[in-house]
Structure 1
């Protein structure tokens, strides 16, 4: 029996190609936002890198988060056979905040490089914006997995258990990053260390899912 063709504008291949391009551009822009030495900075290059360690830390975190989000998106689209109008609409916030991430990464890096005190409103706001940006990316990815399962957009041979686990993981770490964004108003110095616990949150979610089976 021949598989019904997807309606025009709802072919998952074109959506995947477009999303891949957006992710690739955003990751490239992350590097373009890194501070570069000028003039006398070359005489004190080591100090220059030390002064801007916050910017390079922000770049590393953003790069890794974008990489894992893209990897999850790629894995998901390898297991679906069509998209729906809702999944297309969900790509609007997902890709919007992918593109916006280089900007919030730059804000977070520069406010930390400028050695602002912990109580400075600008530093707390920049940290919150960066964490909130990441949180929306993760939550949108979790919603995408959930929607694919709810609308049965996946292929018959797709690993449904893995898709469901990925949905829970991205919801969990998205909520965790949202909480760290809120925490930046009270304890901005501790927030970057909280981000390091993201793999533990993911591992804990997997363990809870295994216990429920």
Structure 2
């Protein structure tokens, strides 16, 4: 069966690359006249820690989203309008990550921290919903998927994304109570996805080997 999603994947890769590159714009150099010695530079860098934190979180969030996007399209062989628009929604939200990242970099260490973390986590709630929508639209018609994929593999992928939704909601609630805990929850979820998606892929490879 010929894969029909090559152009979708190529375009998506370009959007992910641009989105992840834009994040570095929040890392600013000090004014030349404001740094007279190494101590001044260390103080400047210390005061920039929210920007470094925001860059770290958003870089790896987009990277893990790209990894999962790549893996999900290894299972999607054909496309229809629903898949294309759901993928477009993912790309729209990925492109928007740079904005809440900028807010987090500038205001996390202030009185508005709960609001900016709420906006940040809320963005990832929407991204999670978009991924769930993409897989729902693809998996409800098995003719769109890789030939031979089992119902067990489909459910595993589905559950992998569904599990993230309540955790993102909990993180969103914690954003307005203890913002730092919300970011820790999000980081933990990304680590879970990085590990679990690898296990799912290994399971699918075993299925293919069994078929052969």
- Normalised to the residue count of structure 1, the TM-score between the two structures is 0.79
Q: Structure 1: where are the runs of 5+ without partners?
A: 207-213
Does 2:43 correspond to 1:47? yes
> In structure 1, how many angstroms separate the alpha carbons of the residues matched to 2:154 and 2:25?
34
Q: How far is 1:99 from its partner?
A: 0.5
Does 2:175 correspond to 1:184? yes
Q: Is the 8 A contact 1:143 1:167 kept in 2?
A: no
Does 2:115 correspond to 1:125? yes
> In structure 1, how many angstroms separate the alpha carbons of the residues matched to 2:11 and 2:36?
40
What does 1:51-200 correspond to in 2, within 5 Å?
A: 51-112=47-108, 115-116=109-110, 120=111, 122-152=112-142, 153-158=144-149, 161-198=152-189
Does 2:22 correspond to 1:29? yes
> In structure 2, how many angstroms separate the alpha carbons of the residues matched to 1:100 and 1:185?
21
Q: Is the 8 A contact 1:135 1:177 kept in 2?
A: yes
Q: Structure 2: where are the runs of 5+ without partners?
A: 200-212
| C-alpha RMSD of matched pairs (Å) | 2.8
Q: Corresponding residue for 1:38?
A: 31
- Once the two structures are superposed, residues 143-189 of structure 1 have per-residue CA deviations (whole angstroms, 9 ceiling, x without a partner) of 22232211221121346544432321222223312321232122224
Q: Is the 8 A contact 2:171 2:181 kept in 1?
A: no
Q: Which 10-residue stretch deviates more, 182-191 or 19-28?
A: 182-191
> In structure 1, how many angstroms separate the alpha carbons of the residues matched to 2:191 and 2:7?
35
Q: Is the 8 A contact 1:80 1:155 kept in 2?
A: yes
Q: Corresponding residue for 2:8?
A: 15
- Once the two structures are superposed, residues 102-145 of structure 1 have per-residue CA deviations (whole angstroms, 9 ceiling, x without a partner) of 11111011112xx31xxx3x321111111111222222123222
